């Protein structure tokens, strides 16, 4: 007898499982409360890093 | 190499491999083997993503790039955090919702089987070629420097990887990558500290920064837009974002890393962690290269960093004479004199700085620039001579700068550690690649279309064989790679030809929800043909468009053409599930509809 496993469902068709109702994306991040804030922090850090690099380069090049 | 270095090198690599095998010894089903039971925490995912992207060539080539041209290369990575945010916000939730194993599996649910198979085949072709290069590119450099036969170096890099990847699958890859990244980051930090300590007495970090800054090597940001200048902030923020979206969102070697997360939150955090850490990490690697540059202002660097080239042409005989050895000696004497003058000017610069003598500082700096130009001319003459002696020799020696410093100037023990860094980087990216190749072959072709309905034990056994098979293919390709000219560039070109189309298919899948399967399939085929034609036109001199632009062109062609075709190639629109968890339309039912 062939045991029924994960690959038997062809093609992948998402079924409503008990866990499906609590879709993981609804889970908030561990800090900052919302994902939108998390993304903003990453992007703001990136902008600050770029500005920091620019100032660093200018300072040491004597400009 | 000293026995302690051997001990450190072999000990580190074997311990990591044994750890990977031991940690994943309980893998007993296909889900566990291919997705690691989806158990990984965000820091493991983040480190695994970074380790997959950072190949050995990153740690050999990037410091050399900073040595030659400064820190501007860092801008290439500026699109990465943006891509991470886009993927975390829009792409991973869709993959999680459908519980897919590969990125291409998603395309079947969204479009149809043929679109899935087409993109999976494109991935296998492109990644299958580059897996060999991931081994070969650093192996050829290490062989030249360490004097090991190329085959042995290839085997040393590929052999251990195959053992633990075949044994433990995805989980082994991620677990070993965590250790490998720790070794890599610690090794680069230690290299930076040692470099600073090896500068002459009285020369500090501030002198190093001032010298490199005033020689233009600290210009991290170039605000001027230019198509000719490959690295500026605009190409970094826009063109690179496309490249990273494609690489992290549609390349299974990366997708598999974050699909192994315990929850969507862990995967998202892993990607965002990569978005925050990756750019500073690249800057650290570039900064190490810059410190090597400062170090070689006081210590005479070789006239040409690939010593194997010099040995080869010196030994060449013409009519019983060794003409290149004589010429080389002439250029070496000139180079020695230029170095002495430049080094004296650098000393004057440091003294003038200490005395706060601005005029003396500028005069010394001018002298440094003049001698650096002479130095560069002599080195170019030597490269030209090497080419004249043997056209097949590669004269680009910037990839050899860092490894030369490691093997010749680092203390015993650290040579082994830094070599372990380079080998770890090669192993971590190779492991991800063969693991992803085996997964895509198994999930998207073997069990989906070729051999359906077999037992889990059968698929697990075949997954291991496929991993072994792809590992051996990568090794075989790596050992044959030296037979081809410009192979690395060839593989990059192959990647650019296909990446745009794949990115376009995924962009339509995620953002153009009314577009149907038939429209995107024909649009992808047509776009692919158009990209190949554009590439051919460049090759025959009818276009100046370089291959880097093929990615955005391919992507926009798929989006535009699929929107056009969707007007008359009717296909049932696909509706993604609502946030509250409505299930997707059932594919089998949908296909039976007229």
Please compute the mean of the pLDDT values over residues B88-115 and round it to a whole number: 87
Task: Give ∠ CA B572-B573-B574 in degrees, rounded to 5.
Answer: 115
Q: Which residues of B touch A27 (CB under 8 A)?
A: 263-265
DSSP string, B528-584: HHHHHHHHHHHHTTS----GGGHHHHHHHHHHHHHHHHTTTS--PPP-PPPTT-PPP
Of residues B531 and B581, which shows the higher confidence score? B531
Question: Over the Cα atoms of chain B, what is R_g?
Answer: 26
Band of the pLDDT at A9, cuts 50, 70, 90? very low
| Predicted pLDDT at B272 | 96
The 10s digit of each residue's pLDDT in B338-361 is 999 999 999 899 888 888 888 888
Preferred mutation among A37, A50, A54 to probe B, highest tally of B CBs within 10 A: A50
CA distances from B88 to B266, B363, B391 (A): 11, 52, 48
What is the spatial distance between Cα B562 and Cα B524, in angstroms, rounded to a whole number? 8
| Predicted pLDDT at B500 | 87
Nearest residue of chain A to residue B576 (CA atoms): A14
| Predicted pLDDT at B276 | 95
**Does B275 touch chain A if contact means CB atoms closer than 8 Å?**
yes
List CB contacts of B71: < 8 A, sequence separation 6 or more: A57, B217, B218, B219, B220, B283, B286, B287, B290
B145 and B401 Cβ atoms separated by less than 8 Å: no
Q: Which spans in B24-102 are helix H? A: 30-35, 42-53, 56-69, 80-86, 92-98
List CB contacts of A21: < 8 A, sequence separation 6 or more: B580, B581
Query: Token pair 């085997």 is at which residue?
Result: B155
Contact B448 A11 (CB under 8 A): yes
A41 and A49 Cβ atoms separated by less than 8 Å: no
- Number of neighbouring beta carbons within 10 Å of residue B287: 22
Of residues B130 and B482, which shows the higher confidence score? B130
Contact B214 A61 (CB under 8 A): yes
Q: Which spans in B215-317 are helix H? A: 233-234, 240-250, 252-259, 264-298, 307-314
Contact A42 B84 (CB under 8 A): yes
Nearest residue of chain A to residue B37 (CA atoms): A6
- pLDDT above 80: residue B582: no
Q: Which residues of A touch B579 (CB under 8 A)?
A: 23, 25-26
In the stretch 528-587 of chain B, residues with CB closer than 8 A to chain A read: 577, 579-581, 583-584, 586-587
Of residues B491 and B331, which shows the higher confidence score? B331
CB-nearest to B587 from A11, A57, A61 is: A11
CB-nearest to A62 from B99, B214, B583 is: B214
Q: What percent of chain B has pLDDT over 70?
A: 92
- pLDDT above 90: residue A40: yes
How close does chain A come to B589, measured CA to CA in Å? 11
- pLDDT above 60: residue A35: yes
Nearest residue of chain A to residue B275 (CA atoms): A42
What is the spatial distance between Cα B265 and Cα B41, in angstroms, rounded to a whole number? 9
| Predicted pLDDT at A51 | 94
ipTM rounded to 2 decimals = 0.81
What is the spatial distance between Cα B537 and Cα B254, in angstroms, rounded to a whole number? 32
- pLDDT above 60: residue B113: yes
DSSP string, A16-55: --GGGGS-GGGSPPSSSSSHHHHHHHHHHHHHHHHHHHHH
Please compute the mean of the pLDDT values over residues A16-39 and round it to a whole number: 70
Band of the pLDDT at A19, cuts 50, 70, 90? very low
């Amino acid at each position: 007898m062939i045991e029924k496993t994960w690959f038997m469902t062809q093609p992948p068709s998402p079924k409503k499982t008990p866990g499906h109702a609590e879709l993981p994306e609804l889970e908030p991040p561990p800090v900052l409360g919302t994902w939108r804030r998390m993304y903003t922090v990453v992007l703001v850090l990136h902008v600050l890093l770029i500005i920091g690099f620019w100032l660093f380069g200018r300072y040491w090049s004597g400009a | 190499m000293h026995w302690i270095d051997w001990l450190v090198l072999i000990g580190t690599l074997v311990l990591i491999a044994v750890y990977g095998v031991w940690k994943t010894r309980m893998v007993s089903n296909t889900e566990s083997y291919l997705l690691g039971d989806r158990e990984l925490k965000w820091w493991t995912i983040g480190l695994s993503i970074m380790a997959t992207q950072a190949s050995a060539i990153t740690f050999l080539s990037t410091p050399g790039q900073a040595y030659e041209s400064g820190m501007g290369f860092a801008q290439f990575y500026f699109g990465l955090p943006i891509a991470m945010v886009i993927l975390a916000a829009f792409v991973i939730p869709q993959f999680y919702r459908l519980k897919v194993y590969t990125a291409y599996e998603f395309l079947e649910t969204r479009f149809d089987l043929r679109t899935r198979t087409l993109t999976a085949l494109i991935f296998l072709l492109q990644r299958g070629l580059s897996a060999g290069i991931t081994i070969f590119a650093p192996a050829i450099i290490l062989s030249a420097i360490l004097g090991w036969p190329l085959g042995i170096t290839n085997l040393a890099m590929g052999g251990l990887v195959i053992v633990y990847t075949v044994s433990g699958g995805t989980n082994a890859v991620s677990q070993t990558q965590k250790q490998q990244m720790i070794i890599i980051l610690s090794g680069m930090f230690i290299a930076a500290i040692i470099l600073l300590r090896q500068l002459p007495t009285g020369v500090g970090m501030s002198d190093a920064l001032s010298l490199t800054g005033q020689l233009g090597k600290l210009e991290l940001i170039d605000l001027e837009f230019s198509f000719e200048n490959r690295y500026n902030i605009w190409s970094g923020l826009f063109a690179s974002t496309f490249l990273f979206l494609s690489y992290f969102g549609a390349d299974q070697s990366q997708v598999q890393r974050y699909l192994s997360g315990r929850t969507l939150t862990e995967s998202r955090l892993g990607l965002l962690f990569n978005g925050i850490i990756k750019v500073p990490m690249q800057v650290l690697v570039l900064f190490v290269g810059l410190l090597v540059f400062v170090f070689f202002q006081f210590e005479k660097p070789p006239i040409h960093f690939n010593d194997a080239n010099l040995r080869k042409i010196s030994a060449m005989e013409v009519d019983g004479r060794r003409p290149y050895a004589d010429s080389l000696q002439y250029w070496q004497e000139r180079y020695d004199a230029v170095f002495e003058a430049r080094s004296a000017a650098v000393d004057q610069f440091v003294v003038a700085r200490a005395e706060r003598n601005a005029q003396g500082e500028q005069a010394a700096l001018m002298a440094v620039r003049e001698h650096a130009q002479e130095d560069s001319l002599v080195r170019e003459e030597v490269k030209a001579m090497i080419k004249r002696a043997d056209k097949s020799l590669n004269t680009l020696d910037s990839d050899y700068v860092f490894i030369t410093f490691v093997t010749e100037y680092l203390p015993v023990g650290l040579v082994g550690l830094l070599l372990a860094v380079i080998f770890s980087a090669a192993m971590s990216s190779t492991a991800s690649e063969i693991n992803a190749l085996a997964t895509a072959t198994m999930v998207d072709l073997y069990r989906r279309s070729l051999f359906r309905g077999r037992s889990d034990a059968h698929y697990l056994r075949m997954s291991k064989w496929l991993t072994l098979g792809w590992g051996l293919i990568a090794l075989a390709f790596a050992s044959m790679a030296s037979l081809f000219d410009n192979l690395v560039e060839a593989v990059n070109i192959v990647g650019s030809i296909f990446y745009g189309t794949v990115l376009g298919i995924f962009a339509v899948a995620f953002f153009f929800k009314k577009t149907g399967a038939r429209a995107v399939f024909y649009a992808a085929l047509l776009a692919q043909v158009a990209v190949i034609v554009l590439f051919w036109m460049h090759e025959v001199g009818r276009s100046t468009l370089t291959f880097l632009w093929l990615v955005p062109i391919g992507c926009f062609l798929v989006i535009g053409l699929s929107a056009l075709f969707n007007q008359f190639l009717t296909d049932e629109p696909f509706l993604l599930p609502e946030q509250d968890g409505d299930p997707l339309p059932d594919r089998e039912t949908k296909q039976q509809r007229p």
